[in-house]
Amino acid sequence: MLSSLKTAARALYNLYPIATKPGDFLRDPMPEALRQHEASGEPSLNRVGWQLVTSAQMEGPLYERWCTLARDTRVKHRKVWEWVYILEVLKQHGMLAEGKRGLGFGCGTEPLSALMASMGCEILATDLDEATAQKQGWWKTHQHAGGLAQLNEAQICDPDLFARKVAYRSCDMNAIPNDLRGFDFVWSSCSLEHLGSLENGLEFIERSMDCLKPGGVAVHTTEFNLGTNDKTLETRATVAYRKKDIEGLALRLIGKGYKIPLINFSPGDRMLDRVVDRPPYRHSHLKLLVSRHLLTSIGLFVVK
């Protein structure tokens, strides 16, 4: 009853969206210091950069192969794209190989740890401690890892190999312990927007670099606001990054001597790119309205 009321309230609120189409500001030139990072053309998974999810990236054998390996049937969903983006970035940097050490944050029940372990990686998967996850509702919605068992639910990795390769511990992304160091790669999917503020998420990305060896790769996906470069969604529970926040992050990371790739803000314009989902959300969407904001997913990676 309460959840239907909440859904109805959200639907009513979204009757007056701030935008239903990606804004023209996405095509504005980036700050001078980022000009050499400006991508041209449509984003592709064959040459990954910082990019938004688009329908075109979901066509072809590369995307299909990862979906098959992840045993996910939703396929044309931005959440699945986020996992594929992370896997493809790591593959292109030679990280999905025997003996490479990976650290996952806010892992929930995602299939990535199992898939990486099946490819020979040694994984430390982490998530919020159980009591806080229960308080924040992650437990109730089956979005919290809770332990090792949930991470290989789909039996993606042979259970013996999984037991040898994957460890689990709780970790607050707002307070990464100092002993989490020396990894080849770190990742998070759909988690850093839940750290309490825009700045907390950005600081998390910066601090996740401390966990890497030189030459290591950090890859993260999060929420991006397509409708405005002005006032965005920022609540304790969820935030959505604007073009200017992403550009600011790029400058911060470059300033610290890290390497970032080309940045592409193209939202795509195929049929599926033009569909905007509203509450109650359907299974397959790339763009959706949340609290009147038009949101999508963005993938980011940084090399130390």
Ligand X SMILES: C[S@@+](CC[C@H](N)C(=O)[O-])C[C@H]1O[C@@H](n2cnc3c(N)ncnc32)[C@H](O)[C@@H]1O
153 or 269: CB nearest ligand X: 153
Alpha-carbon torsion angle 83, 102, 201, 285, nearest 10: 0
Tell me if 189 contacts ligand X by CB under 6 A: yes
28 or 129: CB nearest ligand X: 129
Q: How far is the CB of 175 from ligand X (least distance, A)?
A: 8
Determine the Cα–Cα distance for residues 244 and 250; give it in Å rounded to an integer. 10
Q: Which of 11, 238, 225 is nearest to 106 (CA)?
A: 238
Selected from 190, 218, 219, 298, the binder of ligand X by CB under 6 A is: 190
Handedness of CA 297, 246, 293, 44 (dihedral sign): negative
Tell me if 194 contacts ligand X by CB under 6 A: yes
Question: Binders of ligand X: how many residues, by CB under 6 A?
Answer: 19
Q: How far is the CB of 255 from ligand X (least distance, A)?
A: 25
107 or 226: CB nearest ligand X: 107
Residues between 219 and 278 that touch ligand X (CB under 6 A) = none
Amino acid identity, position 34: L
Q: Which of 151, 200, 154 is nearest to 174 (CA)?
A: 200
Q: How far is the CB of 119 from ligand X (least distance, A)?
A: 18
Q: Which residue is nearest to ligand X (CB)?
A: 108
Tell me if 37 contacts ligand X by CB under 6 A: no
Alpha helices of 2-56 — where are they, by DSSP H?
A: 2-13
Q: How far is the CB of 102 from ligand X (least distance, A)?
A: 14
47 or 71: CB nearest ligand X: 71
> How many Cβ atoms are within 10 Å of 251's Cβ, its own excluded?
15
Q: How far is the CB of 21 from ligand X (least distance, A)?
A: 26
- Both tokens assigned to 225: 């606001």
Alpha-carbon torsion angle 289, 291, 294, 297, nearest 10: -80
Q: How far is the CB of 67 from ligand X (least distance, A)?
A: 14
In which residue are the tokens 């009321």 written?
Answer: 5
**Residues whose CB is less than 8 angstroms from the CB of residue 33 and which lie 6 or more positions away in sequence, other chains included:** 251, 254
183 or 266: CB nearest ligand X: 183
37 or 287: CB nearest ligand X: 287
Q: How far is the CB of 62 from ligand X (least distance, A)?
A: 20
Selected from 176, 180, 195, 219, the binder of ligand X by CB under 6 A is: 195
Determine the Cα–Cα distance for residues 288 and 24; give it in Å rounded to an integer. 18
Residues between 99 and 158 that touch ligand X (CB under 6 A) = 105-108, 110, 127-128, 133, 138, 143-144
Helix (H, G, I), strand (E, B) or coil at 148: coil
Helix (H, G, I), strand (E, B) or coil at 253: helix
Please state the length of the chain. 304
Residues between 162 and 181 that touch ligand X (CB under 6 A) = 172-174
DSSP-derived secondary structure letter, 210: G
Q: How far is the CB of 194 from ligand X (least distance, A)?
A: 4
The footprint of ligand X (CB under 6 A) covers 105-108, 110, 127-128, 133, 138, 143-144, 172-174, 189-191, 194-195
